[in-house]
Amino acid sequence: MAQYQQEQELDSVFQALADPTRRAVLGRLGQGPASISELARPFDMALPSFMKHIRLLEASGWIRTAKAGRVRTCAIEKQKFAVAESWLTQQRAIWEGRTDRLEAFVTTSEENNQ
């Protein structure tokens, strides 16, 4: 069951990163919190469409929002980076091991052919 939950969380994390608008929002929030209107300004889309991106980022845990008066402010949640980084580190280790074995095989083959 824990494995399934980890996979679901990972799916959610990477689904949020799959869209360039959401990646740009996360990039901007890396500089500090910002209001929805400030985040939406660079994008040529209606606010309801932009809000879908914000809701997905919030649901996946990449950001948190807080409302003060009429202004909703977004801030990045750094722990989601750890989830993605952990998976990428595991994948890197797997592929480095495979390329190391391939290199050893090629080197051994070349030495045997000489």
The contacts found for 5-8 with CB under 8 angstroms, 24 or more apart, are none
Q: What is the pLDDT of residue 63?
A: 95
Query: Which of 1.10.10.60, 1.10.101.10, 1.10.10.10, 1.10.3720.10 would CATH assign to domain 2-113?
Result: 1.10.10.10
Q: What's the whole-model pTM score?
A: 0.73
For residue 36, the Cα-to-chain-centroid distance in whole angstroms is: 20
Q: Where are the domains of the chain?
A: 2-113
Return per-residue pLDDT of the chain as tens, 114 residues. 577 777 787 788 888 889 999 999 999 999 999 999 999 999 999 999 999 999 999 998 999 999 999 999 999 998 878 877 887 888 787 888 777 777 777 777 667 776
